[in-house]
Structure 1
Amino acid sequence: MAVADTFAPRGRRSTSRWTRRCGLSWGPPRRQSLPPLRSSDATRFATGVLNVDKAAGETSFAVVNRLRRLTGARRVGHAGTLDPLATGVLPVLFESATRLAEFALKLPKTYVADIHLGFVTATDDAEGRLEPVGDPSDLATADVESALQEFTGRIQQQPPAYSAVKVDGKRAYRLARGGEPTRPAPREVEVYEARLLDFQTGPRAVAQVEVRCGSGTYLRSIARDLGQKLGVGGYLGRLVRTAYGPLTIGNSVRLEQLVEPDAVRDRLLPAEVILPEMERVRLNVEQEAQVRQGRPVRVLPEPAPGQLRAHDAEGRLVALGHTDPLRRTFVPEKVLS
């Protein structure tokens, strides 16, 4: 938890910013438990989005690797990293859907988190060594609810020392692991809603909260800062991403349920499910052919200025683009194959 269209051929690892951010996986995987790809498998897989319920202890990159091996898909990526200890909704994008990752990152996410009070850790989660700060026994539910509301709206948030945020060109977690812990500069994030679901009082108090937020928000930082606000310290325990835009944990799938490529294909959702709301235009066959070649086309009725999504005659997503108000045309920017 916080895009160029560059894809590396099989056997060469891409180091593009898009690849690092969205979890694209290339080259031979490290896992040996799955059978090697047959040459006949290395064909284009179906385009779409798989709503995965990531298990605890597995990295988001490992999920992508396993699905790429299982399906033989040429392009697989995820839309937003979940920490290894976290569970819940991880959108995995296949083939042309990977081109929409930057739009998916703009969708709101919902988390349920257990915040442990009375202690802090260097990692701001349960992986670090516990250091006692204050006794939370006297805290009441109203105290926690009141403090939590100060972390809603557009706020300045300092990412954890152990995070992927860059400090002087280096990843903060690399500096921290190398004995140079540093706090990345605060940055603006948006928290749409934060509410207390449950509060267990006592010397090891735990506040269970639900947070709906925008991209780049660290729940570890909210846990740390809430504990600091209450004067007793705090760190993040269990974390579940329960929703990512329209994707919910209730309609997700666990990796162990997917034993063959067809099982993945049957679970794929249309690529447009990860797009925010924007005006749609319908293309006829001739217009579709032009758009697929990257050419602007005039569409009727004339769309309003702004971002647009273009669909073919059967309603399938063809491209994303914008309106050219001077020429009154739809200008394609990202074309799905």
Structure 2
Amino acid sequence: MTSGLLLIDKAQGWTSHDVVARTRRLAGTRKVGHAGTLDPMATGLLVLGVNSSTRLLTYVVGLDKEYLATIRLGQSTTTDDAEGEELTHASAGQVAAIAPAAVASGIEDLTGDISQQPSAVSAIKIDGQRAYARVRAGEDVQLPSRPVTVSVFELLASTAGDGFLDLEVRVECASGTYIRALARDLGVALGVGGHLTSLRRTRIGPFRIENAATLERVDVDANLISPTDAATRLLPRLDLSAEQAIDLGHGKRITVEKDVTRIGPVAAIAPDGTLIGLVEYRGNQAKSLLNFPPDEPAAATEPKQAS
């Protein structure tokens, strides 16, 4: 039974749950999960965990992300994206009057550490129920603003149309940032309204879309990132002796060189390259946080590039 992380290039129209369900059938196991939901309208990178490597998804969820998106200025919608109903529509004259300097200033104001109100149709839970479910049930949902970090908000190109202005942008941001909300807020700042017409996630932490495969073409076994490779991309590495690997596998603490700079989980690797588990440092000892069963090949491999 193999284990690892799988990079999938999600197609438009698929839900993240659809991708998980299809991968379960392809992999022949129920133990498949994902890190970081993508809306059906969005495309791009989903990181899946298969079998014991679902335990690593905890360390993927909070990583920074990169997106390519199209923001349409001149129209706002109920969902802040193209799937919602129109709320406002600026005149062609208002849109034509938008100065490039104003766009640049609006983008700059939405870069860095900012306060952002998530879209009402987000997956955020309110009293145990998703916000989007409450909206669909007819409730008026107003989510509180929260701090987010947008490290890069870059204008790549712009295209003027009949009563609208499309902005092609690249965004790098911390987990929890909503690109739809950036589109909405930029439109508000420019006085013409705005919404998202396309969204593609291109990176999650160290994992990039270039190494992802589509569901139609994926070979699960060939494209799995081994637990060792995945864990050492996500976390610091501790190389064990054979004796230490046995002790950790039995739940014992091991003596290590004291390193006060190491905070949080560390990937503990046996001499043969197997991921024994995750440990945390306690002075000059390492304590097991999570052990991994030997249900995967030891060799760490780079996933095949999608064609």
TM-score interval, normalised by the smaller of the two chains: 0.7 to 0.9
* Alignment partner of 1:49 is 2:9: no
Deviations 1:308-328 (A, max 9, x none): 221111233222221101xx2
Does the Cα contact within 8 Å between 2:206 and 2:234 map onto a contact in 1?
A: no
* Aligned mates of 2:230, 2:186 — CA distance in 1: 34
* Alignment partner of 1:310 is 2:290: no
Q: State the Cα RMSD in Å.
A: 1.7
* Aligned mates of 2:117, 2:84 — CA distance in 1: 18
Q: CA deviation at 1:306?
A: 1.5
Point out the more displaced range, 117-126 or 164-173.
Answer: 164-173
Does the Cα contact within 8 Å between 1:148 and 1:194 map onto a contact in 2?
A: yes
* Alignment partner of 1:255 is 2:220: no
SS in 2 for 1:256: coil
Of residues 247, 264, 278 in structure 2, which corresponds to 1:290?
A: 247
Map 1:1-337 to 2 at 5 A. Answer: 44=1, 46-134=2-90, 135-202=94-161, 203-258=163-218, 263-271=219-227, 272-273=229-230, 278-299=235-256, 301-304=257-260, 305-307=262-264, 308-325=266-283, 328-337=284-293
Does the Cα contact within 8 Å between 1:309 and 1:317 map onto a contact in 2?
A: yes
Deviations 1:260-290 (A, max 9, x none): xxx2101111234366664321112221122
AA aligned to 2:185 is D
- TM-score normalised according to structure 2 size: 0.88
AA aligned to 1:94 is V
Q: Which has the higher strand share?
A: 2
The percentage of counterpart residues that share the same residue type is: 40
Please, which runs of 5 or more residues in structure 2 have no aligned partner? 294-307
Does the Cα contact within 8 Å between 2:10 and 2:45 map onto a contact in 1?
A: yes
* Aligned mates of 1:274, 1:61 — CA distance in 2: 24
Q: CA deviation at 1:207?
A: 0.9
SS in 2 for 1:257: coil
| Structure with higher RCO (Cα < 8 A, 6+ apart) | 2
* Aligned mates of 1:187, 1:62 — CA distance in 2: 30
Equivalent residues, number: 286
SS in 1 for 2:9: strand
Please, which runs of 5 or more residues in structure 1 have no aligned partner? 1-43
- TM-score normalised according to structure 1 size: 0.80
Deviations 1:89-138 (A, max 9, x none): 11111112110111111221100110111111111111111233423211
* Aligned mates of 2:105, 2:231 — CA distance in 1: 34
